[in-house]
């Protein structure tokens, strides 16, 4: 027989965190800041027209999707030397510890 101990208070805290709009916005803003130096930048329009919300990071220029997937593109490194396709994923992988530490600090302030 296996015994399972379950702390219902922790479950309630996790539910509250999952629904916390401030935390979602904070996470997206942090990722955007980490991603900026990886975002391809020729005219700065891609970066300047970006909006960050609880739903995510929205790059508003019409060509954003093509640049994001970067098929058949060679990105200029003049303004952002780390520019690459799928910049948010690369930024996360390269800065994962810093990103998660910032989220942890925020969560500790909420709980």
Q: Where are the domains of the chain?
A: 19-110
Show the tokens assigned to 85: 């396709």
Q: pLDDT-based confidence at 16, cuts 50/70/90?
A: confident
Query: How large a percentage of the chain has pLDDT more than 70?
Result: 90
Q: How far apart are alpha carbons 77 and 12 in whole angstroms? A: 47
Query: How large a percentage of the chain has pLDDT more than 90?
Result: 63
Q: How far apart are alpha carbons 10 and 79 in whole angstroms? A: 45
Nearest to 99 by CA among 17, 29, 47: 29
Global pTM exceeds 0.85: no
pLDDT given at position 12 = 72
Higher pLDDT, 23 or 6: 23
Q: How far apart are alpha carbons 67 and 46 in whole angstroms? A: 9
């Amino acid at each position: 027989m296996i015994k399972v101990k379950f702390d219902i208070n922790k479950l309630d805290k996790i539910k509250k965190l999952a629904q916390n709009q401030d935390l979602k916005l904070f996470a997206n803003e942090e990722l955007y800041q980490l991603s900026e130096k990886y975002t391809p930048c020729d005219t700065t329009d891609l970066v300047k027209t970006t909006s960050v919300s609880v739903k995510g990071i929205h790059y508003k220029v019409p060509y954003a999707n093509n640049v994001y997937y970067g098929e058949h593109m060679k990105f200029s490194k003049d303004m952002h030397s780390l520019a690459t396709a799928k910049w948010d994923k690369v930024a996360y992988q390269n800065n994962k510890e810093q990103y998660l530490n910032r989220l942890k600090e925020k969560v500790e302030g909420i709980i």
